[in-house]
Structure 1
Amino acid sequence: MQLPPKNYKGIYFMVLAALAFSVMGGFVKELRTSFNTPQLVFYRNLVGAVFLSFSLARYPVTQSGGKFGLLLSRGFMGTIALYTLLYLILHIPLGAAMTYNTMNTFIIALLSWWLYKEKLTPIAWLCIVVGFGGILLIYPPSMDFGWKFHLVGFSHAIVSALSYLLIGTLNKYYDSRIIVLSFLLNGMLLPLLMMTIRWVFNISPDDFFFPLFALPKGSDWLLLAGLGFSALFGQYFVTKAYSNDKAGIVAAIGFSNIVFGMIIGILLGDLFPDSIAIAGAMLVIAAGVTISLSKDRNSN
């Protein structure tokens, strides 16, 4: 497969990541009656870690390393971001969950400007605002729920933004697969640790901090395999995306996962979107196309 010109690699990889994460969301939707948040996090990362281990054994890495603390931080923050996102999807209206999920775009753009001196053009900023507006048309948020969900939502936006920003730094020292593996291992060990603590100290189980261990049954195995593989490819491509372009640009292209998610939702039985939602999808697509065209003009 021929890759696009270097100027477009970040956009190309982020579109693939958005598609993979949307497929992952479809599997989460199918599994939500069988597993809670920590259980889904554990199995999602277990599948990915096993597959990635074979890749690393077959194609050893060549890297300088030396930033283990940052690598560990990226894995831990990525795990917390995943925890909070799945918790929101399982417990509050999808529109509100997606709103919190896309808020990290603004945080990424601001922090990349402040910390890394990355400058976005006025057109890029406009596209971020237009894309976010399109998402609000697709999923009008409902805020009629408890304060703890707002706290989880804002925490997700901040932690996920920091997690993505670390990728650009780590890419200079580590193979993309190692960056992904750090996230997968954290995502396996954290829920497993909390399950063990609950069992040892006989703590009453819940669906977030101290879960029970649950074995898959029947078709759950195939669904979990699909969840793990789609998430693995999503993590790999998002790592490549943030390694090849400005964080603000990549984050804005990530809005496309909402459009992919809407299509997958229809395939899984969701109602066909109304005209307002379709208009929102068109705004998201227009924002992505405009960013791509503006990059082409800037490169010339």
Structure 2
Amino acid sequence: MSDVYLVKKGIYATLAYAFIMSITAVAAKQVQTQIAVPVLVFWQSLFCVLVLLPQMWGKWERRPKAVVKAHFLRSFGGFTGFLFYYWSLNHIPLVEASLLRSCAPLCVPFVVLIMHRVMVPKARWLPLVIGFVGVALVINPTPDHFNPWHIVGFLSAVGLAFSMVTTRLLSSHVSSQETMLVYFVISALLSLPLALIQGESLALPSSTWFWVLLVSVTLYVGMFLYTLAYTYAPASVVSPVSYVGIVFAGFWGWAIWGHVPDALAISGTVLIFVSVFLSAQISRKKV
């Protein structure tokens, strides 16, 4: 099978992933008018655990402490990423929340600096500066327009960045099924007390069953396609292509809620895409 064919398959998998995850976001935004975010995270995590558990039956091995630590960091990062993302969906337009979460690649160099004391290469500073200027335009932190929920949306990118870095560490030691299963188990365990502390019931109203199931199924399928995309194509290809998800989010936000991004938000989106594209080009040259 040629490299070009595999890259094409990776691109198709990335496009499918972006579309599926946009549906996850729509369903999550819709159902959160009736149930709390921790309750949704608990049920989506439990669903994915039940799907993944048979796949890992009899395949568990004892892992060294370094792998266990990476598992926890990956799971905690992914959990906080989804928690902040879902919270932001309640208060800002879908396209803006999705865009801010997609800024995770901009945060990765700083996560690597914190975790491994590896300085950000000089070549990466230009795309990073361009990207964060784009983030500032989307957030628009002026007294008349500032919305703190934009910061919450950006924190989802920080959590996702920790998840991305530790997933890469785990990929050479464990299977993707193990990584996903451990993540969803920890996510369920962390969301349960959070829901109880908030005084929320885990019982789902019958009117929410369809939406919660849609979130859970699309989330699992989306993560499967995401893993598949990185199997077929390098990150330098997958990362820029995945930003088509912002287009899908923009369409759903306009079609369902009538949200139309202003000129600043559109300009910020363009700058963030340029930043990710430049970073991908730098990564490709180093491979």
TM-score (norm 1): 0.69
Asked if the contact 1:171–1:243 (Cα under 8 Å) also holds between the matched residues in 2, the reply is: no
Counterparts of 1:270 and 1:152, CA distance in 2: 22
1:226 matched to 2:214? yes
1:255 matched to 2:258? no
> Could you say which residue in structure 2 is the equivalent of 1:211?
200
Change (3 A) 1:186 1:193: same
> Could you say which residue in structure 2 is the equivalent of 1:202?
none
1:188 matched to 2:188? yes
Cα-to-partner distance string for 1:162-204 (whole Å, 9 max, x where unaligned): 1211011100111111111122112212222334x54xxxxxx
Change (3 A) 1:117 1:15: farther
1:72 matched to 2:88? no
One-letter code of the match for 1:265? G
Structure 1: runs of 5+ lacking an equivalent: 199-205
> Could you say which residue in structure 2 is the equivalent of 1:143?
146
* 3-state SS in 1 of match to 2:200: coil
> Could you say which residue in structure 2 is the equivalent of 1:44?
44
Counterparts of 1:92 and 1:265, CA distance in 2: 10
Q: Which moved more, 1:183-192 or 1:130-139?
A: 130-139
Change (3 A) 1:133 1:235: farther
One-letter code of the match for 2:38? P
Structure 2: runs of 5+ lacking an equivalent: none
Change (3 A) 1:169 1:105: same
Asked if the contact 1:10–1:241 (Cα under 8 Å) also holds between the matched residues in 2, the reply is: yes
Aligned residues: 281
* 3-state SS in 2 of match to 1:91: coil
Q: Using the aligned pairs only, state the percent identity.
A: 23
The correspondence of residues 3-42 of structure 1 with structure 2, limited to 5 A, is 14-42=14-42
Change (3 A) 1:93 1:183: same
> Could you say which residue in structure 1 is the equivalent of 2:165?
165
Measured on the aligned residues, the alpha-carbon RMSD in Å equals 4.4
* 3-state SS in 1 of match to 2:203: coil
Asked if the contact 1:11–1:292 (Cα under 8 Å) also holds between the matched residues in 2, the reply is: no
Cα-to-partner distance string for 1:247-298 (whole Å, 9 max, x where unaligned): 7875555433222211233443535667887777677777777777888888
Counterparts of 1:256 and 1:36, CA distance in 2: 29
Counterparts of 1:91 and 1:271, CA distance in 2: 12
Asked if the contact 1:118–1:246 (Cα under 8 Å) also holds between the matched residues in 2, the reply is: no
Counterparts of 2:279 and 2:2, CA distance in 1: 22
The correspondence of residues 77-88 of structure 1 with structure 2, limited to 5 A, is 77-88=77-88
Asked if the contact 2:108–2:162 (Cα under 8 Å) also holds between the matched residues in 1, the reply is: yes
Cα-to-partner distance string for 1:1-23 (whole Å, 9 max, x where unaligned): 99965667876655443333212
Change (3 A) 1:276 1:77: closer
Change (3 A) 1:212 1:184: same
Counterparts of 2:80 and 2:163, CA distance in 1: 9
TM-score (norm 2): 0.72
Asked if the contact 2:93–2:259 (Cα under 8 Å) also holds between the matched residues in 1, the reply is: no
Task: State the shift of 1:116 in Å.
Answer: 8.9
Asked if the contact 2:239–2:280 (Cα under 8 Å) also holds between the matched residues in 1, the reply is: no
Counterparts of 1:277 and 1:151, CA distance in 2: 15
